[in-house]
Structure 1
Amino acid sequence: MLDKTSNLGHLLPPTYRRLITSWLEEDCPSFDCGGFVVGESQGEARLLGKSKGVVAGVPFFDEVFVQLGCWVEWHVQEGETIDPIKHCATVRGPMRKILLGERVALNILARCSGIATKSSSLVKALRHHGWKGTLAGTRKTTPGFRIVEKYGILVGGADPHRHDLSSMTMLKDNHVWACANKTAGSLTQTPESIASAIPMAVQAAKTAGGFAIKVEVEVRSIEEANAAIGAGADIVMLDNFTSDEVRVAARLLKTGWAAKGKLPGTFLIEVSGGLTEHNAALYACEDVDILSTSSIHQGTGIVDFSLKVSLR
């Protein structure tokens, strides 16, 4: 787990600034008549937190106003849980520019904070049940907004999972089956044939990715999981198992491979498929290392913020 004092903004690549530029351009592609009315007089606005939640997205909020020639003074820390109504920050600069960046900055902050809040809530709930494993997001992110969503997950104390297709090789059933058909021609898809095709796919992935890229295999049965582990997969994902099936399968896999001499930690067991804040704890057991769910970043609510011009 990242230290709470860590500046997560230091993780961001330079490319995020280009995203901010494109979002500002999208929001004002032509004349800014409202800004024309306001003019260039210097002023300030207060950022108010209007609902309870975890503050996240500070670097993105700051960059919006940096690009517009303004500056932000924060009165809360990123990752802090706020209650309404909280004066979170003060933005200073030309009033026209403050109002030009207002909606873009607030949209980013509200969404990122909503994700951090949902992530934090589920992490705390799982810890309350005594589970010490890793809660992770998924790659079901919004195109063009992925870096903000992954950042919000991190601020909330969860694991972002793989950031893109190049971060880790995940072999899903379609990958395994397509690999088998490429090699052997048209095959009848059966549980046995899929399990027999997994080692071929794993070895091909390891050859292409080398030692630096982990390989994860999505499996639908203990037989498929054993085939993946035997082929050297780093992670097996038990996909759409019931909670009872997860407990049985994870125990059999851990004890079975330990008896064959595989040391603890040689492979990890991930569980995914339909996990939410309402049922995740049912899947959290000693033999499960990772619970992954898109519910902490897909379709989450927001933390409500507003920017109010200070009258002098």
Structure 2
Amino acid sequence: MIRIPDARIDQLLAEDVPGIDLTTEALGIGERSGRMECFTRQGCVLAGGSVAARVMERLGAAVESRTEDGARLGAGDVFLTVRGTAAQLHMGWKLALNLCDRLSGVATATRAMVDTAHAANPDCQVLTTRKSLPGARDLLTLAVMAGGAWPHRLGLSETVLVFAQHVAFLGGLDGLLARLPAMRAACVEKRILVEAAPDEALVLARGASGRPLVDGIQLDKVPSDELGPLVRELRAIDPRLILIAAGSISEQNAGAHAATGVDGLATTAPLNAAPIDMSVRMHAMGRGARTDEPTDADR
């Protein structure tokens, strides 16, 4: 479960409803009672329904039914039903739907990659990177976890991961090798991982005394046919090494990379998934009226 505080819900609402819903107020329908059903036109893995329900409750509406995030939906399935006034429903419906269609797109793409990777190697985890839209990491993390993956890193304060951009300030690999003992002494409770090219990975794994200088190695953009032999060589040096494949990992090549025996696939691909085609139906209670509200894609 990802903690989404009330202040975050209010922030999302304030962007879309800075003051009043001018259209609903001008029509004079704000106090009328109604019910809203959110449904999908495409099969998908649902994500964002929990946040959408919070949005509607924050506005004072009552959630009658909700499908859990991570559930698989078929075309036509209703995943959220809400009762309230027309003012409450119309203030929240677009935000609720936008959250669900976009986050469900991410969750669906994530689930497809996870299934592909696990079919080749059940022990290989899909790890989504922090190369995502700033300000949306909490929501995207919710989506990738609903899809069965894990976040690679939630922020710079979480793990030690050395990139070539860091090594540039140390004068190259030799400078990094000289610094690693002090880094390990300073970060006594943290694992140390380094992104490295194949030849650098072997140097880091062997170390000065035949023991690895790091806890894990991230192998960037190594083709799967080259990655397999490299993983076997690194495992022979120390089977405890954490090995992550990164760079251009997609659903199409996830299985081949997972089959090499790496522990994880670091990927950005699911975060860029297209939204799912979703919509809402509004019912005016007691009047028999009903309207189908199209999504933006239909307009």
* Secondary structure, aligned partner of 2:252: coil
Given candidates 265, 268, 282, the residue that maps to 1:294 is: 268
The correspondence of residues 68-217 of structure 1 with structure 2, limited to 5 A, is 68-178=59-169, 180-181=170-171, 194-211=172-189, 213-217=190-194
Cross-structure match for 1:226:
203
Taking structure 2 as the reference length, the TM-score comes to: 0.86
CA spacing shift, 1:113–1:204, aligned 2, 3 Å: farther
Supply the distance in 1 between the matched residues of 2:76 and 2:60 (Cα, whole angstroms).
Answer: 27
Supply the distance in 1 between the matched residues of 2:261 and 2:75 (Cα, whole angstroms).
Answer: 40
Supply the distance in 1 between the matched residues of 2:227 and 2:147 (Cα, whole angstroms).
Answer: 26
Unpaired runs of at least 5, structure 2 = 289-299
After superposition, the C-alpha distances for 1:169-215 in whole angstroms (9 at most, x for unaligned) are 2110011221x14xxxxxxxxxxxx332223443454344431x332
Supply the distance in 2 between the matched residues of 1:80 and 1:242 (Cα, whole angstroms).
Answer: 33
- Contact 2:67–2:80 (Cα < 8 Å) also in 1: yes
How far is the alpha carbon of 1:105 from its aligned partner? 1.1
Residue-pair matches, total: 279
- Contact 1:54–1:81 (Cα < 8 Å) also in 2: yes
- Contact 1:195–1:227 (Cα < 8 Å) also in 2: no
How far is the alpha carbon of 1:149 from its aligned partner? 0.7
Taking structure 1 as the reference length, the TM-score comes to: 0.83
- Which protein has the bigger strand share? 2
Supply the distance in 2 between the matched residues of 1:248 and 1:94 (Cα, whole angstroms).
Answer: 63
After superposition, the C-alpha distances for 1:195-241 in whole angstroms (9 at most, x for unaligned) are 32223443454344431x33221001233443267364222001111
CA spacing shift, 1:175–1:30, aligned 2, 3 Å: same
2:219 is the alignment partner of 1:238: yes
Unpaired runs of at least 5, structure 1 = 1-7, 182-193, 258-263
* Secondary structure, aligned partner of 2:92: helix
CA spacing shift, 1:167–1:155, aligned 2, 3 Å: same
Letter in 2 for 1:77: E
How far is the alpha carbon of 1:54 from its aligned partner? 0.6
Supply the distance in 1 between the matched residues of 2:185 and 2:66 (Cα, whole angstroms).
Answer: 50
Supply the distance in 2 between the matched residues of 1:163 and 1:201 (Cα, whole angstroms).
Answer: 25
- Contact 1:240–1:273 (Cα < 8 Å) also in 2: yes
